[in-house]
Amino acid sequence: MRFQIASRVCLSITLLAAGLVGAGCGYSSDRNQVFRTTNSNTDRVRTVALDIFESREFRRDLELQLTEALAKEIESKSPFKLAKKDRADTVITGKVLEVRQGTIGRDFAQVRPRETAATVVVSFQWKDLRTGEILVDRPRIVQTVDYIRPVGEGFHHAMQRAMDRLAERIVETMESDDW
């Protein structure tokens, strides 16, 4: 009798645990459930062309860093595939509008900046090439990152972190239902 009760309790616990694992606590591996994948005409959006971002700054390769980071983010975190512009459903274009640096903290003994903030301002637009509909238009996205020079962090590393974060934010706007 005790054996039957113990086995039923074990079976119940096992089924409960399997149910929780199967439910996944709300997590879904299907990226189509998170991203809106149709335009206003309910045409399915499957591919994205990515133009190299333009730059108003005189700093080298920032637009290339952002374009590369965005391509990686789209491929890894969205249901969309990258394609050439003549075969794509949509296109993303954008500009690096401004890059600023500012000192947050100083080393007063050596009279040098200790911690610095780098700020990048970009704009981008996501357009459906089949209908001409603008899916997302963000005229200004601001991203700031801090870096500490005495520990070997430099402007280049800060810009890479800023571009990676901007790429994440752009892909996050592609998830939104309020295009």
Residue 172 has phi, psi (to 5 degrees) of -60, -35
31-175: in CATH 3.40.50.10610: yes
Q: Are 126 and 92 in contact (CB under 8 A)?
A: yes
pLDDT means over runs of 10, the chain (179 residues): 53 52 43 58 85 91 95 94 95 96 75 81 95 94 86 85 96 75
Kindly list the domain boundaries of the chain, sorted by start residue. Answer: 31-175
Strand partners, 93: 125
Q: What pTM was computed for the model?
A: 0.73
